[in-house]
Chains A and B, each alone.
Chain A
Amino acid sequence: MSKKRRRYIILRVTRSVTAESLRKLVEKAYAELFGELSLAEASPRIVRQDDDKFILECRHYLVPKMILALASITEFDGLPIAIRTIKISGTMRKAKEIVYGE
């Protein structure tokens, strides 16, 4: 079986949210746009959090769809929110460098 290629999307959220609530928010937005099947394929996962920055892991060929799903999020707990994509990285090491400024 071939290795599944992954990408790490570095995000900035305009309001304070926990990693768990962000994961739910992302999954809901993605499933609403592209369906449960595609969501299972993308298998998004929040792998790191640093204050308002997060690293989201997903399958490499579904990155544009994931970015669109993130951009479609406008509300959390009845208040406006925006999720900004800062950078996309191919390795976790580089993603951490961007988030933590190492």
Chain B
Amino acid sequence: MDLWVEPLNESNIHEIMSEAKSLGFECVALSYLDDAIFREAERVGKEVGVKVYRKIVLEPESRSDLLRDLKKHRGRCEVISVICGSLDVALTASRDGRVDTVIIPPDKRFRIDKGVASLIRNPVEIPFRWFLNRETRRDFIKVLLEIVDYLASRTDIVVSSRASSRFELRGPREMATLLQAVGIDENRSLSAVSNVPIQIIERNLTKLSPNYLYRGVMKIEQEEEEVHHT
């Protein structure tokens, strides 16, 4: 699964979806544009055989901005990710239950060390596009090495493409080699593009279901064919 695809407009949705399917993806999370474009993406996804989910990427300047944005967007999409430019945003986002992944940009204004790492709980997402961009590549690899050194043993890692064109899409195995090249074993690297993002989506679909009441509590409807158990 590709947890972050960022189409520029309606016109390139078809080519991105077709390419994603040919690369072996079964589902993609599309960063939220508007309802009309998302509906078009869903239609194209059905046509080519790729499931489409909504994703919101927040880039708040401060902790208060983050909390305000989370309150506004909660329950509106399957995935919420936060780009953490500063330490207070990173620490808040990485412990908030409404945030699914934290993204640490190459131009971050803080250092990841043992102390910071011990407070981070949510999965860390690594967009492959920053690796493709020659201008950001060196800083991106520095951040990636910090993440691997301090966070890999504590939290889950997700690799997504953040592709905005078909040329920026990469296959699951290609994205996984980014982690393998910095010392993470093959199974865990492959999980970063399959199991971990799928678990995030499944957990959130349960939360968004009308039968969900509270953590661990679901309404059981006997009228329906499918009976949900807690």
Q: Is A71 touching B174 in the complex (CB atoms < 8 A)?
A: yes
Which residues on B sit within 8 Å (CB–CB) of A84?
A: 23, 171, 174
Q: Does A81 contact B (CB under 8 A)?
A: yes
Summarize B's interface: helix, strand, loop or mixed: helix
Which residues on A sit within 8 Å (CB–CB) of B177?
A: 64-65, 67-68, 71
User: What's the minimum C-beta distance from B184 to chain A, rounded to whole angstroms?
Assistant: 10
Q: Does B170 contact A (CB under 8 A)?
A: yes
User: What's the minimum C-beta distance from A72 to chain B, rounded to whole angstroms?
Assistant: 7
With CB as the reference atom, state the residue of chain A lying closest to B141.
Answer: A33
Q: Is B173 touching A82 in the complex (CB atoms < 8 A)?
A: no
With CB as the reference atom, state the residue of chain A lying closest to B19.
Answer: A82
A residues 15-74 in Cβ contact with B at 8 Å: 33, 64-65, 67-68, 70-72, 74
User: What's the minimum C-beta distance from A97 to chain B, rounded to whole angstroms?
Assistant: 20
User: What's the minimum C-beta distance from B191 to chain A, rounded to whole angstroms?
Assistant: 15
Which residues on A sit within 8 Å (CB–CB) of B132?
A: 72, 74
Among candidates A14, A65, A85, residue contacting B181 with C-beta atoms closer than 8 Å: A65
With CB as the reference atom, state the residue of chain A lying closest to B169.
Answer: A82
Q: Is B171 touching A68 in the complex (CB atoms < 8 A)?
A: no
Which residues on A sit within 8 Å (CB–CB) of B166?
A: 82
Q: Is B167 touching A82 in the complex (CB atoms < 8 A)?
A: yes
Which residues on B sit within 8 Å (CB–CB) of A80?
A: 165, 167
Which residues on A sit within 8 Å (CB–CB) of B174?
A: 67-68, 70-71, 84-85
With CB as the reference atom, state the residue of chain B lying closest to A83.
Answer: B174
Q: Does B131 contact A (CB under 8 A)?
A: yes
Which residues on A sit within 8 Å (CB–CB) of B169?
A: 82
Q: Is A71 touching B181 in the complex (CB atoms < 8 A)?
A: no
User: What's the minimum C-beta distance from B27 to chain A, rounded to whole angstroms?
Assistant: 19
Q: Mark B181-197, 1 if CB is under 8 A from A, else 0.
A: 10000100000000000
| Cα-based distance from A68 to B186 in the complex (angstroms) | 13
| Cα-based distance from A84 to B132 in the complex (angstroms) | 14
Whether A72 contacts B131 in the complex (CB less than 8 A), given A64-B180, A65-B177, A67-B177, comes out as: yes
What are 16 contact pairs spanning A and B, CB under 8 A?
Answer: A64-B186, A67-B174, A67-B177, A68-B177, A68-B178, A68-B180, A70-B174, A71-B175, A72-B131, A72-B132, A74-B167, A81-B167, A82-B166, A82-B169, A82-B170, A84-B174
Q: Which residues of B contact A (CB under 8 A)?
A: 23, 128, 131-132, 165-171, 173-175, 177-178, 180-181, 186
Q: Which residues of A contact B (CB under 8 A)?
A: 14, 33, 64-65, 67-68, 70-72, 74, 80-82, 84-85
Q: Please list the 10 inter-chain residue pairs (A to B) with the smallest Cβ-Cβ separation, ordered nearest first.
A: A71-B174, A64-B180, A80-B167, A68-B177, A64-B177, A67-B177, A82-B167, A68-B181, A71-B170, A74-B132
What 7 additional pairs, Cβ within 8 angstroms, besides A64-B186, A65-B181, A67-B173?
Answer: A33-B181, A64-B181, A68-B178, A71-B170, A71-B175, A72-B131, A74-B168
